[in-house]
Amino acid sequence: MPLSHLLSRRPGLSLDFQAELDADAILETVVAFANSEGGQLVVGMDAQGHIRGGVQAEDADDLLRMALTAVHPPLRLEAETLTLPQGVVLVLQTPRSADLHTLADGRAPARRGAGNSILTGSELAIMAAARASNPFELEELPNATLADFDREVVAEYVEHRRRRQPRAFVGSTEALLQQIGALTPAGKATAMGLLLFGSDPQAFLPQSGLTFVKFAGSDRRGEEGKIGYGRREDIHGPLPRIIERAWRVVWEEMAKQAVVRGLVREEQTEYPVISVREALVNAVAHRDYRLSGRRIEVLMFRDRLEITSPGGLPGYITVQNIVEEHFSRNPRIVNGLLQWGYIEELGLGVDKMIQAMVAEGHPQPEFRAAPHAFTVVLRKGREVGQPGIPPEWQQDMNERQMQAMQFVLHHGRINNREYRDLCPNVSAETLRLDLVDLVDKGQLLKIGDKKGTYYILKHKPGS
């Protein structure tokens, strides 16, 4: 992968930079990647592109050897050596491992956001149990072979992968499909292979489709108990096509309005495009494909959009930590969708979903976890055409503050009690400091004192 592409991204769940050749720190990071979602470590350069020097091409061999001898079980890395005018840079590629790896001192690091964290006893047990089970992705499906793959879809994937990683693969397409787990060495198709590339995956896995239903009102029943939906679509095909077709149907059914900002004409939609696409991609990428009898469901009501994915939350993920933590039930499917471009960067989808909803004047997404299903609810907070948060306001605000600003836009003012009602799980002191910050930035004006205090806009949008 070109360095320019890596430098365009920030350190995070699947990327880090280490300017100095610190073997212990490097091993900890690559093991953390292997125990999480995999990732790339750039050695000899910082995140701003500055090369310190001091790294030699021979260091790559030493690091690969240490990963085999000082990590349990041994960890296999891919290393790329780049010789630049300023010095040598190493790019270490670590795939997500089916094993749980520990360092020589017994510690088991995992990736948490842009840093590493050592797994505690309970986390270690959950992680080990999750890895001990045979991944359904790699199960061989009876009578399924390469002949059941759609050649056009495979070619599309290969082209996207080569654009992202031009030096990562040289060989036949069949060898690549075996490398990523889509085919067994004997040429049999795996569940992951059929789901991503199959001509008709639903012939083998009927549950792998998606159902869209649009209802006229706020519940599933119409007037006098009659059927309440106006459109139903059953969507089939490999997962990339399901995402594309589902998005097309939702786009057709969403209310839209053209707005002009400055000299630019924009399409304003009923729900933020980013939030809908992230919710769709997450439902497809993370559902439990072992579960039969239920498909992914996208239900559009008058006041909300519900996207339900069969299967409970994976691993150690809970509704409480879903923003900060990341764990994939289907890491190979996730990586496939990442190569395709449906996932931009691991671990940021939920953040983007929340930020877009709040910025456009809607409540934060609701996450509902049941033992065998997970639902994202995008609830409408305003109609198309009503004002949302102006883009220039979003740069320096957290999600809570954007909610407060949206409230003021609609109601003209906000007080501390109303802000606590908007953010019931946040401490009163944190919310008070949010409002103080908005006053300091010149966005809000404080009126009154003590219990009678409230806040209004200091400047109207665009003024």
Q: What is the pLDDT of residues 365-385, one digit of tens each?
A: 999 988 789 999 999 988 877
The domain made up of 207-379 has a fold known as: Heat Shock Protein 90 (3.30.565)
* Predicted confidence (pLDDT) per residue in 333-345, tens digit: 998 998 898 887 6
Residue with token string 């995402």: 243
Please state, in angstroms and rounded to a whole number, the distance separating the CA atoms of residues 417 and 285.
39
From residue 36, alpha-carbon distances to 15, 118, 131, 157, 316 in Å are 12, 12, 11, 24, 12
Mean pLDDT of 83-105: 88
CA-based max dimension of the chain: 77
CA of residue 150 relative to chain centroid, distance: 26
Measure the CA dihedral 272/212/299/242, to 10°: -50
Backbone angles phi, psi at 306, to 5 degrees: -115, 130
How far CA 37 is from CA of 73, 256, 279, 333, in Å, comes to 17, 37, 19, 12
CA 155 to chain centre: 25
**DSSP state for residue 114 in the 8-state scheme:** T
CATH H superfamily, domain 3-132: Schlafen, AAA domain (3.30.950.30)
Domain extents in the chain: 3-132, 136-204, 207-379, 391-457
**pLDDT confidence bin for 463, thresholds 50/70/90:** very low
3-class state of residue 7 by DSSP: helix
| 169-186 residue pLDDT tens | 667 899 999 989 999 999
* pLDDT (0 to 100) of residue 260: 62
pLDDT tens across 230-280, in order? 889 999 999 999 999 999 999 999 998 876 655 566 678 899 999 999 999
Contacts of 45 (CB under 8 A, 6+ apart): 3, 17, 19, 51, 52, 89
> What sign does the CA torsion over 222, 303, 299, 319 have?
negative
- Give the separation between CA 230 and CA 342, rounded to whole angstroms: 29
Q: By the 8 A CB rule, do 395 and 389 touch?
A: no
The CATH number for 391-457, chosen from 1.10.3720.10, 1.10.10.10, 3.20.20.80, 3.40.50.2300, is 1.10.10.10
List the single range of 1-5, 153-157, 158-162, 339-343 with lowest mean pLDDT: 1-5
